[in-house]
């Protein structure tokens, strides 16, 4: 900041400071007086709107939420067949390369498969 103001005279800097203070102070005074002197009819009313409850809120004042996670039987069968395919790839050296490239391209895939299987197992209990 000193580099930018080194060519400006001290009197001009003082003038800028006074103008800034007058404008800032004037605006503050205007906003304060405007807020306090307005009649009630001119002010916007405070509105209270209805509160939205969570989707699965129990009406018995019990906030136990139900899960949105659901895995149907067809999806579970697809997961099992994909898991068998991934296991079969490990049988050969070329298949192992494909297996590794799939896991490199999709690092969270095995975790997702395990999670989906766990969700399905929890549904049938």
Closest CA to 116 of 88, 74, 86, 87: 74
Percentage with pLDDT > 70 across the chain: 79
| pLDDT tens, position by position, 58-117 | 555 544 444 556 788 898 999 999 999 999 999 999 999 999 999 999 999 999 999 989
CB neighbours of residue 98 within 10 Å: 13
pLDDT at 65: 44
Please write down the HEC assignment for all residues of 76-106.
HHHHHHHHHHHHHHCCCHHHHHHHHHHHHHC
Question: What rounded mean pLDDT belongs to the chain?
Answer: 83
Please give the model's pTM, rounded to 2 decimal places: 0.44
- Do 120 and 70 meet the contact criterion of CB atoms below 8 Å apart? no
Looking at residues 33-44, what average pLDDT do you find?
A: 72
The band of 56, judged by pLDDT with boundaries at 50, 70 and 90, is low
């Amino acid at each position: 900041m000193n580099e930018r103001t080194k060519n400006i005279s001290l009197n001009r800097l003082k003038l800028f400071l006074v103008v800034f203070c007058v404008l800032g102070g004037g605006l503050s005074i205007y906003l304060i007086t405007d807020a306090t002197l307005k009649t009630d009819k001119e002010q916007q009313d405070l509105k209270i709107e209805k509160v939205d409850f969570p989707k699965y809120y129990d009406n018995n004042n019990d906030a136990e939420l139900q899960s949105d996670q659901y895995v149907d039987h067809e999806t579970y069968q697809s997961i099992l067949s994909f898991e068998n395919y991934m296991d079969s790839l490990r049988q050969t050296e070329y298949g192992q390369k494909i297996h590794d490239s799939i896991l490199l391209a999709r690092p969270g895939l095995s975790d997702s498969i395990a999670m989906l299987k766990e969700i399905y197992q929890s549904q049938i209990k």
